Amino acid sequence: MSTVAPAISVRGLRKSFKELEVLRGVDLEVARGSIVALLGSNGAGKTTAVRILSTLLTPDAGTVTVHGDDVVADPSAVRGSISLTGQFAAVDEVLTGRENLVLVARLRHLPDPGAVADRLLARFSLTDAGGRRAATYSGGMRRRLDIAMSLIGDPPVIFLDEPTTGLDPQARIEAWDAVRELAAGGTTVLLTTQYLDEAEQLADRIAILHEGRIIADGTLADLKRLLPAPKVEYVEKQPTLEEIFLAITGSGAPRGVGTTPGTEDPS
Could you report the per-residue pLDDT of 149-169, keeping only the tens digit for each?
A: 988 988 999 999 888 877 778
The answer on pLDDT for 245 being more than 70 is no
Q: Identify which has the larger pLDDT, 173 or 78.
A: 78
Strand 82-85: give its sheet, edge to edge.
82-85, 157-161, 188-193, 35-39, 205-210, 213-218
The answer on pLDDT for 183 being more than 50 is yes
The answer on pLDDT for 239 being more than 80 is no
Domain annotation for the chain: domains and CATH numbers: 8-91+156-234 (3.40.50.300)
pLDDT of residue 131: 96
Rounded to whole angstroms, the Cα distance separating 86 from 47 reads: 9
Taking every pair of C-alpha atoms in the chain, what is the biggest distance, in angstroms? 60
Provide the whole-model pTM.
0.77
Contact 209, 38 (CB under 8 A): yes
Rounded to whole angstroms, the Cα distance separating 67 from 157 reads: 7
Cβ-Cβ contacts under 8 Å for 36 (sequence gap 6 or more):
8, 28, 30, 189, 190, 191, 203, 204, 205, 206, 207
pLDDT of residue 87: 67
pLDDT band of 186, cuts 50, 70, 90: confident
* Of 195, 207, 184, 152, residue with least CA distance to 37: 207
Q: Identify which has the larger pLDDT, 267 or 65.
A: 65
Q: CA separation (Å) from 168 to 25, 111, 138, 173, 174?
A: 35, 36, 10, 9, 10
Beta bridge partners of residue 8, listed in sequence order = 30, 66
Query: What average pLDDT does the chain have?
Result: 85
pLDDT digits (tens, 9 = 90+) for 47-94: 999 999 999 999 999 999 999 999 999 999 999 999 988 766 678 999
The answer on pLDDT for 171 being more than 80 is no
Burial class of residue 18 in the structure, from the number of CB atoms within 10 Å of its CB (0-12 exposed, 13-18 middle, 19+ buried): exposed
pLDDT of residue 148: 87
Alpha-carbon torsion angle 247, 148, 79, 67, nearest 10: 70
User: What are the phi and psi torsion angles at 225 (to 5°)?
Assistant: -70, -10
Q: CA separation (Å) from 6 to 67, 68, 109, 183, 192?
A: 7, 8, 29, 15, 18
pLDDT of residue 1: 46
pLDDT of residue 16: 96
pLDDT band of 260, cuts 50, 70, 90: very low
Q: Identify which has the larger pLDDT, 227 or 111.
A: 111
